[in-house]
Amino acid sequence: MCDCCTESKKDIYLPQMATVTDTRLMNETEMYLKLTMDDGPFDFQPGHFVELSIAGIGEAPFTIASSPTQKGGFEVVVRRIGNVSNAIHALKAGSKIGVRGPLGDGLYPVQEAKGKNVLFVCGGIGLVPQRAFINYVLDNRSEYGEVAILMGTKNYDQRFFQEELAGWANRDDITFVETLDTGDPRWEGRVGVVTTLIEGVKDLLGNAVVPVCGPPIMYKFVLMTLEEYHVPHDRIYLNLERKMKCGVGKCGHCQINDLYCCMDGPVLKYSDLAAVPEAI
Amino acid sequence: MSKPRIAVFDFACCEGCQLQIVNLEEEILDLLAGADVVEWREAMSEQSDEYDIAIIEGSITRPEDEARIKEIRSRAKVLIALGACATIGGINKLKNNFDLDEVKTCVYGADAGKPHLATAMTKAVDEVVTVDFKVEGCPIDRKEFTYIVRCLLLGKTPEIPVYPVCVECKANGNPCLWDQGEVCLGPIIKAGCGARCPSNSHRCFGCRGYVDNPNVNAAKDVIEKYNLDIDTLKLKMSLFGSQQEPTVS
Amino acid sequence: MTVKKLAKNDFDSFIDAIIQSKKVYGPQVKGEKYDFAQLNAAQDLCMDYDVSLLPPTKYFLPVRETLMTFEVGGGYTSQQDEEPFVLVGVHPYDLVAINQMDILFSQDNYDSHYMTRRKHATIVACDVVTPSANVFASSMGTAVVKEGADVLVTDIGDGYLLEAMTDKGAILLASATRATEADASDMQKRQAVRDVNQKSLNKHELKCDSAYLPKLLSQAYDHSVWEEMAETCFACGSCNVVCPTCYCFDVKDDVNWDMASGKRERCVDGCLLDGFTKVAGDHEFRKVQAHRFRHRLFRKAKYVPAKIGGQIACVGCGRCVSACLPNIANPVTIYNKLLDDLGMS
């Protein structure tokens, strides 16, 4: 046993303090928060996640929703669904919060995708992690080929980031298509699941990198459709959700066969999942 | 923020769970620092209809109990079922295994027909009104009770184990009571008690109720392995598990 | 380093002297079984125990421990357990498990809680005297060890042979002033004990070299054995809790009555248990008990081995076999069935 490790002083479970600089309730359940670390640098890439801590309540994982190209802290979107997210919803600008991260080694292919088309397939709150990569691409627009964003939401009331989505829809250098699973009198756009949108952008699939993120049920159907268009598996990136309790590859909860979602993911290349039946 | 007002009510029970709260000793001062107790028959004489949190001990066994618990529910923002009688019906549910008239005659003899002795099938509190939180056990575990109260004061849903007693029992380093000839219900009963009974060499009686998916097939195998008969197991399960046990065939 | 010899009563004096200066933990009687507990006197130490109820890994990864304390709205303060202790009577298979945990908790992300305890421990291992009812360490190649402890003790009948394997061990042994140097005949006796153990700690015999298990499992993912065995699984997690190489944990917060301070604890968890993979919103990723059952066996002989240089993360202690009421946890039964059905290829 080595007694000289300086590493031993660091506690991988210990949160660092951050300050909430902005909050906004985006719909009934989703809250946007902007955070700035109180001490030290915070260098992250699209795909990184953090463990957010509310003392006394607990800790939960959230993927960073903003691109590192946008300076001044980082953003998360928190769905009100459990103890930690409930407590986060009570925070206001100026509140303190514990942060561990950035965590995860499986990140979005920001470099590999350069020069290629990018097709984002997003389902519901799956937009949040994708947004980090989307904004990265938009901020480095000339380095990527054609870009399309497909967004599916369960119903009208669950839509969020509406202004930002409207901005994407108005750009002429990207394709943005949105659909709702169920129609609504207030909605004039498309109705149907997100997979039905893929046909409309099939022409750019030729050399496209396809990041996918959505609820667990969505992946199977998106992958079946991408299979129909013969998209190679090594160009499909899945951002997977699991119970990432410790976030550092120890506690075992997020294991997907031999992979740790928190260490090998959360973004995993579909071609690496051929022998990982628990993934999809 | 003003302190939440707590009222404690009892239905059919031995009041032993309330006694566990009284027995918190110095911790009860901490509890009282965080909340105002406005009604608690076992510990004080004041009464009040104004409360935020209602703590209910006991099961619902008479027609008039149903009206009373519904009234309490309508006044309380949060309702907590305290102890096995309230959470699962407890020992009182043994009654449901018999004809009600027979039960009354057995207990009250010639007086059985008197109107104030009316009785009904025993119900757990959540069979009549919505229960927000349960403090399981016969009696409750004091540590768990105070944890749940602190969670409530924090606005947090308590994290209560859904796994069986065996986890806590093994973690305590106990030898298995089945190997000593006991029919211990640990494998199918919810943990959270810290395996209190088996850690003191008493088999698990099942006072916290069954886990969500008790494996009855496994129970049958084990019965065979230890040369017991299914009726022995059923009898052990009936003490706290009457009318709620998984079907054992 | 030289091997020393101590008469049995001198060994007791040696242990009693250590107890005077440090916490010492060792196997003691518990009911009709044995378990590791703090020693008050060497006479309570059972060096001839068969197996302990819980593995001694509990001294490095306790079933419950405080990771940190916190102030609500303030910062977090790491809690590290730096008290030195001596762990006496660790069997070879458990020592292998501890050494595997050392790798898992130090590589990738260094777990200071486990490692701080580990660094402050002196481990006195001992060769097995009494094989337990379900041990199969011989099948797993863990019946005898040559490294990984600070001191290795062997009962050779008329005394103990003690070999220091590290500097820490040598310092500990230096206090055994009545020790003599072991002679050739003593060394032969020690070798004889080990030769016997190498083969006889084998109440369940694996029909292949344990190194073949990852390959065997890679063909067995969809085999019916998982369904068949899990049919009578209570999902009680007993196999997880008693396993020396199960290290999954949960983390929970609790506040003090002041509602302003509290602690974050980690506690034992298990992949067989309901809710283990459940995320907020109640989606549970590994819901079928047979899949959980398979996951545990795959971790032992395929997933974890890939992280620790191919070592099989089942050390053959047999605790899961003893702890499993419906008697479905025996890894050897499962591996042998797979071998029968799939053959060696």
How far is the C-alpha of C118 from the C-alpha of C61, rounded, in Å?
Answer: 9
**Contact state of A56 with B155 under an 8 Å Cβ cutoff:** no
CA atoms within 13 A on the CB side of C300: 28
Which chains are within 8 Å of B by 3+ CB pairs? A, C
Identify the residue whose tokens are 């990527």: A144
Range with the poorest average pLDDT among A22-26, B114-118, C24-28, C329-333: B114-118
Which chains are within 8 Å of C by 3+ CB pairs? A, B
Band of residue B1 on the pLDDT scale cut at 50, 70, 90: low
Strand bridging mode B53-57 / B5-10? parallel
Output the pLDDT for position A3.
47
Which one has a higher pLDDT value, B236 or C345?
A: B236
Range with the poorest average pLDDT among B3-7, B39-43, C102-106: B39-43
By the CB < 8 Å criterion, does C72 face chain A? yes
The ipTM estimated for the assembled molecules is 0.94
The whole model's pTM is what? Answer: 0.94
- Of all residues in chain A, the one with the smallest CA distance to C260 is A56
Instruction: For residue C281, give both structure tokens.
Output: 């919103």
Q: What is the pLDDT of residues C281-312, one digit of tens each?
A: 889 999 999 999 999 999 999 999 999 999 99
For residues C9 and C155, state if they share a domain.
Answer: yes
Q: What is the pLDDT of residues A95-105, one digit of tens each?
A: 999 999 999 99
Return the closest-CA partner of residue A155 out of A177, A179, A178, A180. A180
Band of residue C105 on the pLDDT scale cut at 50, 70, 90: very high
Beta bridge partners of A60: A52
**Contact state of C326 with B222 under an 8 Å Cβ cutoff:** yes
For residues C151 and C232, state if they share a domain.
Answer: no
Closest in B171, B187, B219 to C63, CB measured? B171
Output the pLDDT for position B249.
42
Kindly tell me if the per-residue pLDDT of A197 is higher than 50. yes
Q: Is residue C318 part of a domain?
A: yes
What does the pLDDT average to over C316-329?
96
Domains and CATH numbers, chain B: 5-154 (3.40.50.700), 165-241 (no CATH)
Q: What is the pLDDT of residues B142-181, one digit of tens each?
A: 999 999 999 998 999 999 999 999 999 999 999 999 999 8
Q: Is residue C321 part of a domain?
A: yes
Chain C contacts to B (CB-CB under 8 A): 30-33, 35, 53-54, 58, 63-64, 231-238, 240-242, 252, 254-255, 257, 259, 268, 270, 273-275, 289, 323, 325-327
Beta bridge partners of B8: B40, B55
Q: Which residues from C are below 8 Å from B175, CB to CB?
A: 30-33, 53
Transcribe A7-59 into DSSP letters.
Answer: GGG--TTPPEEEEEEEEEE-SSSEEEEEEEESSS-----TT-EEEEEETTTEE
**Contact state of C80 with A11 under an 8 Å Cβ cutoff:** yes
Q: Which residues from A are below 8 Å from C171, CB to CB?
A: none
Chain C segment 236-265 residues within 8 A of A by beta carbon are 247-255, 259, 262, 264
Q: Nearest-CA distance from A86 to chain B in Å? A: 8
Q: In sequence order, which ranges of chain C are alpha helices (DSSP H)?
A: 8-21, 92-106, 112-119, 137-140, 167-174, 184-200, 213-218, 225-230, 238-241, 289-298, 304-307, 319-323, 331-342
Q: Which residues from A are below 8 Å from C283, CB to CB?
A: 216
Q: Nearest-CA distance from B169 to chain C in Å? A: 9
Q: What is the pLDDT of residues B25-36, one digit of tens each?
A: 888 888 888 889
Interface mutation vs chain A, best among B154, B159, B160, B163, most A CBs within 10 Å: B154
Q: Is residue C205 part of a domain?
A: no
Local structure of residue C302 (DSSP, 8 states): I
Report the number of distinct structural domains present in chain C: 2
**Contact state of A86 with B154 under an 8 Å Cβ cutoff:** no
How far is the C-alpha of A278 from the C-alpha of C285, rounded, in Å?
Answer: 8
For residues C13 and C153, state if they share a domain.
Answer: yes
Q: Is residue C127 part of a domain?
A: yes
For residues C166 and C223, state if they share a domain.
Answer: no
Domains and CATH numbers, chain A: 14-103 (2.40.30.10), 117-239 (3.40.50.80)
Residue A228 and residue A202 in contact, taking contact as beta carbons nearer than 8 Å: no
Output the pLDDT for position A2.
47
Instruction: Single out the residue in C174, C200, C226 at which a domain terminates.
Output: C200
CA atoms within 13 A on the CB side of C116: 18
Kindly tell me if the per-residue pLDDT of A5 is higher than 60. no
Q: Nearest-CA distance from C321 to chain B in Å? A: 13
For residues C64 and C112, state if they share a domain.
Answer: yes
For residues C43 and C179, state if they share a domain.
Answer: yes
**Contact state of A250 with C74 under an 8 Å Cβ cutoff:** no
**Contact state of A56 with B157 under an 8 Å Cβ cutoff:** no
For residues C156 and C16, state if they share a domain.
Answer: yes
Share above pLDDT 70 across residues of chain C, in percent, rounded to a whole number? 99
Q: Go through chain A and tell me how many residues it has.
A: 280
For residues C24 and C159, state if they share a domain.
Answer: yes
Structural domain harbouring C90: 3-200
By the CB < 8 Å criterion, does B28 face chain C? no
Q: Is residue C303 part of a domain?
A: yes
